[in-house]
């Protein structure tokens, strides 16, 4: 998952948000949403949704529950009919194609293995449905089971497998007919934390082995998205609120929602942006002056937010630049980190630090600073839509 770690300068685009990443050289199929709208009765759950997943890329769609992630994925699969717009797979317009003609692989949260078939028959299903010859099936099924490390379970029934094993079989089943596009809808959220972690590693490895596979990965878990995806789309209320390279989006969120949803950033209200050069700007936070990256090119004199991740704060000894002080509200030890909240000029700020022998006490005044290059100015979006 390391090919797209180059930082991209995602320009700050006024709504409607249009997402597209630089095309990668590869011979897989892309997935394209072009102004796709989906309505259920009077309820519009996808508003003119536009997004491209380039060939061989993993794009994660994240967002709170009910934001329309599943709907978007099922529109690609063909189980939701858009009321407007087009859906493309490769160069084919599949908007009006039946699901069985779309040649996609799909993995859902609850695995949905066929309970009445053995593991090998589950994996063979797609091949048989396409009328593959018996000798092709005999070769391909063990291949796919080996790919997910389930070779020894070929003769089992799904109910005889653990959740993680079932999910592996579901992935093998989806990949058996060699789809160019794989859709994953919260594939790990039914698994417990430890297995989720190792499945995540395996998914990453699987994609290294199948570099042409185009993957749309729906999740509400930002760490899954950050681990796996080249690009991340953040959804809210059926709209794409932000889209960008995973790192870039994390470091330079384009709006408040993206900053809060991805990585629970602190957003301190600041005033009077004074650009220093191409990159940096000075702002005022109460009576202190802070500097930060002006990644989105905010205009001189405007008000905005400064996005500081909890781990970006360091305790200050002397008066260092970019230093703020506040009253400690809570201190919580979590084994490998200390979580501290403090009040700075009326704002509750979260920070994490390496575990300390003598953590600050509640009510104590502390001074902290951050590296100006690590924090970004984020426009304050007036609209909440």
Partner 1 sequence: MLVWSKPWRIATWAVAVPLFLIIYGLPIGVIVLASFSGQWNDILPSNMTLVHYSKAFRSDSFDALKASLLTGVIASGAALVCGTWAALALRNFKTMPKRVLDLLFFIPSAVPSVSVGLALLVAFSQPPFLLNGTTWIVLIAHFVLISAFTYGNVTAGLARIPVDCEQVAESLGARPFYRLRRVTLPLLLPYLVAAFSLSFALSMGELGATVMIYPPGWVTLPVRIFALSDRGAIFDAATMATILGVGTLIVLAILSKVSNRAAVR
Closest to Mg ion by CB, 4 or 182: 182
Window of 31-39, 52-60, 63-71, 93-101 that interacts with Mg ion by CB under 5 A: 63-71
Locate 371 and state its tokens: 């590296």
For 89, counting Cβ atoms within 10 Å of its Cβ (0-12 exposed, 13-18 middle, 19+ buried), the class is: buried
Could you give the CA distance from residue 190 to residue 217 in angstroms, rounded to a whole number? Answer: 15
Query: Do the beta carbons of residue 245 and residue 231 sit within 8 Å?
Result: yes
Which partner in Mg ion, ligand ADP, partner 1, none is near 110 (CB below 5 to 8 A by kind)?
partner 1
Residue window 32-51: x/- pattern of binding to ligand ADP, with contact defined by CB under 6 A: --------x--x-x------
Residue (of 135, 32, 40) closest to 81 by Cα position: 40
Instruction: Find the binder of ligand ADP among 5, 7, 23, 66 (CB under 6 A).
Output: 66
**Which partner, ligand ADP, Mg ion, partner 1, none, binds residue 102 by CB below 5 to 8 Å per kind?**
partner 1
In the complex, least distance from residue 74 CB atom to partner 1, rounded to whole angstroms: 8
Contacted entry of partner 1, Mg ion, ligand ADP, none for residue 77, CB cut-off 5 to 8 Å set by kind: partner 1
Strand spans (E) along the chain: 31-40, 43-53, 58-62, 84-89, 92-93, 104-107, 181-185, 214-219, 231-236, 239-245, 266-275, 280-285, 288-293, 304-308, 314-315, 323-333, 338-344, 347-353, 365-369, 376-378
Position of minimal CB gap to ligand ADP:
70
Closer by beta carbon to ligand ADP, 40 or else 333: 40
Rule CB under 5 A: choose which of 48, 70, 122, 248 binds Mg ion: 70
Binding track over 82-111 against partner 1, x by CB under 8 A:
----------------xxx-xxxxx-x-x-
The distance of closest approach from Cβ of residue 89 to partner 1 in the complex, given in angstroms and rounded to an integer, is 12
Interacting residues of 307 by C-beta distance below 8 A, sequence separation 6+ = 253, 259, 265, 266, 267, 375, 376, 377, 378
Quick one: CA dihedral 253, 257, 262, 267, positive or negative? positive
- According to CB under 6 A, which residues from 69 to 108 bind ligand ADP? 69-71
User: Across 194-279, where does the E strand assignment appear?
Assistant: 214-219, 231-236, 239-245, 266-275
Asked if residue 168 binds partner 1 (CB under 8 A), the reply is: no
Binding site for ligand ADP (CB under 6 A): 40, 43, 45, 63, 65-71
Binding site for partner 1 (CB under 8 A): 77-79, 98-100, 102-106, 108, 110, 112-116, 125-126, 128-130, 157, 170, 173-174, 177, 183
Binding site for Mg ion (CB under 5 A): 70
């Amino acid at each position: 998952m390391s090919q797209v770690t180059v930082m991209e300068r995602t320009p700050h685009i006024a709504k409607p948000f249009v997402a597209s990443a630089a095309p990668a050289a590869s011979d897989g199929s892309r997935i394209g949403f072009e102004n796709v709208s989906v309505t259920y009765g009077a309820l519009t759950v996808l508003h003119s949704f536009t997004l491209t997943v380039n060939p061989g890329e993993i794009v994660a769609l994240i967002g709170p529950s009910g934001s329309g992630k599943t709907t978007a994925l099922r529109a690609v699969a063909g189980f939701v009919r858009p009321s407007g717009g087009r859906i493309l797979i490769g160069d084919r317009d599949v908007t009006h194609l039946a699901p069985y003609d779309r040649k996609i692989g799909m993995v859902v949260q609850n695995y949905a293995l066929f309970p009445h078939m053995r593991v090998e028959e589950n994996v063979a299903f797609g091949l048989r449905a396409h009328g593959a010859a018996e000798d092709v099936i005999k070769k391909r099924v063990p291949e796919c089971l080996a790919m997910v490390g389930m070779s020894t379970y070929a003769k089992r029934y799904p109910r005889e497998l653990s959740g993680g094993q079932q999910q592996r079989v579901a992935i093998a089943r989806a990949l058996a007919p060699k789809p160019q596009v794989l859709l994953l809808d919260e594939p790990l959220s039914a698994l417990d934390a430890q297995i989720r972690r190792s499945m995540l590693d395996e998914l990453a490895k699987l994609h290294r082995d199948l570099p042409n596979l185009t993957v749309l990965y729906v999740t509400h878990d930002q760490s899954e998205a950050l681990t796996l995806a080249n690009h991340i789309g953040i959804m809210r209320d059926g709209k794409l609120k932000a889209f960008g390279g995973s790192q870039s989006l994390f470091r330079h969120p384009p709006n408040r929602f993206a900053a809060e949803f991805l990585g629970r950033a602190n957003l301190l209200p600041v005033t009077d942006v004074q650009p220093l050069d191409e990159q940096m700007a000075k702002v005022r936070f109460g009576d202190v002056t802070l500097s930060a990256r002006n990644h989105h090119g905010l205009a001189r004199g405007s008000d905005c937010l400064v996005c500081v991740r909890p781990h970006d704060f360091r305790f200050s000894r002397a008066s260092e630049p970019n230093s703020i002080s506040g009253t400690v509200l809570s201190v919580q030890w979590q084994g490998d980190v200390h979580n501290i909240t403090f009040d700075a000029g009326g704002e509750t700020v979260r920070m994490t630090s390496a575990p300390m022998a003598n953590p600050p006490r509640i009510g104590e005044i502390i001074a902290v600073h951050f590296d100006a290059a690590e924090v970004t100015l984020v426009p304050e979006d007036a609209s909440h839509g």
